[in-house]
Amino acid sequence: MQSDFSGKTVLVTGGTGSFGDVVVRRLLERNCRDIRVFSRDEAKQYLMRLKICDQRVSFHLGDVRDRSSVDMAMRGVNLVFHAAALKQVPNCESFPDQAVLTNVIGSQNVIRSAITHNVERVVCLSTDKAVYPVNAMGMTKALMEKTAQAEARRIAREGAKKFTTICVVRYGNVLCSRGSVVPVFIEQILAHRNITITVPAMTRFLIRLEEAVDLVETALNHGEQGDTFVRKSPACTIENLALAVQAVFSSNAPIDILGARPGEKMHETLATAEEMKFARELGDAWRIPLDPSDMIDPVVGNKTPYSGQDYRSDNTRQLELSEVVEVLAGLPEAQVLLKNR
């Protein structure tokens, strides 16, 4: 089911990032009335303005840490996609205070501003690293989720007739997004350097940018107060991901093994066993309710209960090397690089 954005004003925080590029294009295709791109990077805003060149898109310079700049952009908004975050694990490990300011306090500013301005829906983007977090990035994203859920509980408790619905979407590694590992591998190959990987057997969920936007649409269409939506995703090892990039770019670059970085896990988790007991299937996603007591019965899709395991990158479907090659070769970002090469 496609969302109807006709006549809607949408705010995308962190809108100059990879997610913003895709979601803005989709919003334009769906006849959105007004799209507000909110970020603190004026250079990226300038480039995005030249690339899009559409009067329906406006750019708002500001920082989610600054509530006043968020309030300025929030006036008259119907929907909010909250994508602004510090996402790099090593950076957040080195500067955890900065991760707190953006991922926690900044998210609180966005959510509370949306409530104050009677926004219809807020969808907050989270990550598998927020589940059983072991690094600062994951911990602050987990607190972002808790902040969203706390505000959702408060709204539900007050029972207001006109209220803001707050949902969270959680997914794994977005292929070819800025700062992700695939562009690093590609850059190393194009620069005729060795490919560097952490641990060959390390596994990660894989998702395309378009699929991440699909998950946000699922939250818009089906989300109830405080819901968390998890994308069903396959996974692969870091070694196979590197080998697949080699194959796509016809490279024989040697692979160097560096070992795990501080704060990295061997395997990621998208949902805990406890969450999965109450998850409902919605096509390519699961809906996890804020309050499991609201569910008729704790089963997946009203069929059989989930196995009771965490939904992890090592127990989901593992992609074979040939499948990873096929996925990478089909990415528009990879096709552009191959053409330019």
Helix (H, G, I), strand (E, B) or coil at 151: helix
CA angle at 42 for the pair 145 and 120, rounded to the nearest 5°? 40
- The catalytic residue among 8, 44, 87, 129 is 129
Residue 12, C-beta contacts closer than 8 angstroms, at least 6 positions apart: 19, 20, 23, 24, 35, 36, 37, 38, 80, 81, 83
Asked if 91 and 103 count as a contact pair (C-beta separation under 8 A), the reply is no
Distance, in Å, from the CA atom of 189 to the CA atom of 94, rounded to the nearest integer, reads 28
State in Å, rounded, how far the first CA of the chain is from the last one: 38
87 belongs to the catalytic site: no
Distance, in Å, from the CA atom of 311 to the CA atom of 232, rounded to the nearest integer, reads 9
Question: What angle in degrees, to the nearest 10, is found between the helix axes of 181-190 and 238-248?
Answer: 40
Cα-Cα-Cα-Cα torsion 54, 57, 62, 65, nearest 10 degrees, comes to -140
Catalytic amino acids?
129
